[in-house]
């Protein structure tokens, strides 16, 4: 099976292409399952406006569009409706509502600490021990809600670190242990790998992180994290990701329990 559950849409303001273009690319790329998991449409309590996700008002259109594509391409590819979501305790009821409205899965991603209203993107700011610890705690708390299916780019917090500091190691251990206990796969992220191969590394997947967590033997899922349909036809990128994970000795899974 060749499955990808991590696909964005132009609604998030930093992806390109129509929803249908992602489906056509996934068919061309030989995928059996294409899951859309655009960034969560949080309805913030404050007047904060996010620049990296659809608005809450766009959720019904996203849902309708994905479900219509599922019908249209039913005999060619299996399409799933999901969301890539932070764990923001104060807004957890919004995830439950989306689930009740047909969202089939949530990918856990700690892009921001506490809430996006309060903190910068962790991929550029998780430098202090305090932030690294909070990243780990928040991710573990998210895992334990039982609402999420797998963990996107668990090493996002490593983006601003060259080496694993003791705090970074502790965070890696906390996340991988909790994932293992919850039988949740961790993701090897192909958006990060693509940029690394193009000479513009994002800092994840982080080689030292993946080397360090081999001891946990987590199940690993490949996530394309497609922000452009062409990522789904990039067979060399897919193969490179599979090879990296295999060479590290992890078991690759294509779904979750």
Range in contact with Zn ion (rule: CB under 5 A) among 22-30, 87-95, 101-109, 134-142: 101-109
**Tokens 């569009």 belong to residue:** 65
Q: Does the protein bind Zn ion through residue 126 (CB under 5 A)?
A: no
Range in contact with Zn ion (rule: CB under 5 A) among 108-116, 122-130, 236-244, 247-255: 108-116
Q: Which of residues 137-156 bind Zn ion (CB under 5 A)?
A: 152
Range in contact with Zn ion (rule: CB under 5 A) among 24-32, 41-49, 102-110, 243-251: 102-110
Q: How many residues comprise the chain?
A: 257
Q: Does the protein bind Zn ion through residue 184 (CB under 5 A)?
A: no
What is the rounded CA–CA span in Å between residue 39 and residue 45? 18
What is the rounded CA–CA span in Å between residue 215 and residue 177? 10
* Of the residues 109, 151, 168, 178, which one makes contact with Zn ion according to CB under 5 A: 109
Q: What are phi and psi of 150, to 5 degrees?
A: -155, 170
Q: Minimum distance between the CB of residue 148 and Zn ion, rounded to whole angstroms?
A: 13
> Residue 132 or 152: which CB sits closer to Zn ion?
152
Cβ atoms of 89 and 138 within 8 Å: the answer is: no
> Residue 124 or 246: which CB sits closer to Zn ion?
124
Q: Which of residues 199-238 bind Zn ion (CB under 5 A)?
A: none
Q: What angle do CA 60, 100, 140 make, to 5 degrees?
A: 105
Strand spans (E) along 32-133: 33-39, 78-85, 105-108
Q: Please report, as ranges, the residues that interact with Zn ion according to CB under 5 A.
A: 109, 152
């Amino acid at each position: 099976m060749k499955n990808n559950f991590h696909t964005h849409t132009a609604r998030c303001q930093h992806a390109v292409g129509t929803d249908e273009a992602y489906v056509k690319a996934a068919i061309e790329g030989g995928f059996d399952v294409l899951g859309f998991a655009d960034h969560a449409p949080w309805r913030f309590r404050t007047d904060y406006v996010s620049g990296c996700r659809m608005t809450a008002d766009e959720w019904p259109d996203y849902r309708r569009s994905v479900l219509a594509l599922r019908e249209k391409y039913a005999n060619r590819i299996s399409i799933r409706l999901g969301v890539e979501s932070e764990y923001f305790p104060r807004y957890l009821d919004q995830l439950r509502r989306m689930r009740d409205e047909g969202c089939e899965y949530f990918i856990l991603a700690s892009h921001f600490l506490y809430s996006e209203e309060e903190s910068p993107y962790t991929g550029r700011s998780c430098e202090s021990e305090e932030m690294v610890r909070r990243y780990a705690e928040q991710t573990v708390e998210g895992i334990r809600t039982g609402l999420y299916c797998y963990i996107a780019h668990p090493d996002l917090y490593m983006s601003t670190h060259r080496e694993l500091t003791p705090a970074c190691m502790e965070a890696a251990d906390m996340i991988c242990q909790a994932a293992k206990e919850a039988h949740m796969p961790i993701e090897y992220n192909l958006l990060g790998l693509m940029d690394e191969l193009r000479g513009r590394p994002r800092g994840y997947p982080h080689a030292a992180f993946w080397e360090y967590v081999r001891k946990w033997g987590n199940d690993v899922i490949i996530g394309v994290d497609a922000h452009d349909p062409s990522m789904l036809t990039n067979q060399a990128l897919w193969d490179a990701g599979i090879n990296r994970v295999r060479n590290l000795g992890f078991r690759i899974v294509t779904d979750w329990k």
